[in-house]
Amino acid sequence: MSYTLKSVRAPKLRGRALKSLVAALDSPLTRRFIEYTLLREAGLPRFRSQPLDTPPLMQPVNLAATGAPIGQPPARVLDALVKAPLPTRLPGILDFHAAYREGRTTPSDVAERLIARLEELDRTPFNPVVFRNDQNIRAQARESTQRWQRGRPLSLLDGVPVAVKDELDLVPYATTAGTRVFGQDGSAQDDATACARLRQAGALFIGKTHMHEIGMGVTGHNTHYGPARNPWDMTRYTGGSSSGSAAAVALGLCPVALGADGGGSIRIPAALCGISGLKPTWGRVSEHGAFPLCPSVAHIGPMGLTADDLAIVYSLIAGPDVMDSHTLHQPMVTLDLYPDLRGLRIGIYTPWFSDASPEVVQACQLGVERMKQLGAEVHAVMPEDLDNARVAHAVTIASEMLASVWSAFQRTPEAFGMETRLNLAMARAFTAADYVRAQQVRQQLMDTLNNLFQQVDLLVTPTTGITAPPIPESALPDGESDLKTLTALMRFAFVGNLSGIPALTLPVGQDGCGLPVGLQLMASHWQESRLLAVARCLMQDEPAPAAPGARSLLTD
């Protein structure tokens, strides 16, 4: 089968042109013609015309893969990480832990440096953290300092700064999902399960981070809060929608943050900001307490400096939760350590791998060469009809997001940003038949991947098709619609969301402008331990560069 993945081409729209298109889509007189044109460009006619006899799969559950887990109990692996942490240029979780254990600093000292740094960043355009409470930060730090003074820290994470995407409930903050519509009536009453588990481990929460409005975009532009700007170049986007979480880690405000990923929203900003990110298997991490934007493609996961940071937080937030029934049928959470990659079979679909900018492809090829040097074997693979999967993911996520905000969107559409209004208006054009067909394609994709992972252990691609795109000045007031950039950023992301398989991004180099490039590793359902172990092998030799504006919180 030939390579079919399509790049959506449509004019970039900003300012008056964007407002005019949104107005035209709101009008019954012009809506149909515009919808037809946009749906044709997006590939809907082909998607609708193909005969399908596969039963629909409404959620990406793979019970056949819930057998004996690979890997080891997390405690055993974490002990090994403490003894031999990965090299870093900014302090990771284990560096904070060692500094507290050795008495070189305290969580209260770190909190004061953090608050001073946040105040300094308030005077810059970076915009990583949108809600914070200095009094709450100090209170958390004081309690952690007392635990350390008594010699009774709760975990490796005790007193370590952690940021949380504004999609998850975190006391004492409101959850706005990046809007001026939701969360306006006060703060969350309880923590989301993932946040609660980190709080029980002693995490020092620094606040809620910037996100693309309702997660319906991957640049990090939010007209209500302003764009999040990339720590590597403040004239460029962070990626999204977990934009502030990526920027906070890259700036050194925290070694790890929580993100959420419905269409690359952990992996894309992590790659563009030069950090690592893990989208776990669907159903591995509880969604309880997260804004229910796109339930069948949504994943909560960690974004961090290194594979060690990801592994520590993943081991804490993963596992069954009675408040989310989708998490109850999963194998044991494990971690693993590999001395090298001998015997590891990595699959590459060359036309897909190469469908990125030359500098991205070159950096990712070097990453693959490093895997081969460590003993991995490269195998050619050919996933079937990626373009059908792309359209199926778009139909699924847009339909579910429209449903999640329908009442508010019907009541006050003008309260949403222009890009969001355009995307939600387009989602109205999808039919119930489109949604069911998308779930048939989901089943086909999962069948394809189940067969593929009989042949290889990992599927490897670039994380994004381009590096961080520039922020046009003309887009600042009202946002922009740039489908070409969106599809380039999402080119390698949608497979993991529609199928629910775990995926990890790690930095592997830079382009000619000094912007980070990410390499994506994907594995079969529930095999996060394999992804983390492989990523750790690739990070052992040399730490990834730190962003120019980054600063350590362990020193004055």
**Number of other residues whose CB lies within 10 A of the CB of residue 410:** 8
CB 303 within 8 A of CB 246: yes
**Counting runs of H as helices and runs of E as strands, what totals does the chain give?**
19, 15
What are the C-alpha distances in Å from 137 to residues 54, 204, 228, 238, 257?
52, 7, 22, 25, 15
Tell me the C-alpha distance between 39 and 41, whole Å.
5
Measured between alpha carbons, how far is 38 from 22 in angstroms, rounded to an integer? 13
Active site residues: 165, 241, 265
CB 489 within 8 A of CB 241: no
Contact 497, 218 (CB under 8 A): no
Contact assessment for residue 513 and residue 469, using Cβ atoms and an 8 Å cutoff: no
**b/e sequence 487-507, b meaning 16+ C-beta within 10 Å:** bbbbbbbbbbbbbbbbbbbbb
Quick check: bond before 172 cis, omega within 30? yes
- Number of C-beta neighbours around residue 425 at 10 A: 21
CA-to-CA distance for 545 and 512, rounded, in angstroms? 15
Local structure of 326: helix, strand or coil: helix
Query: Cα Rg for the chain, rounded, in angstroms?
Result: 22
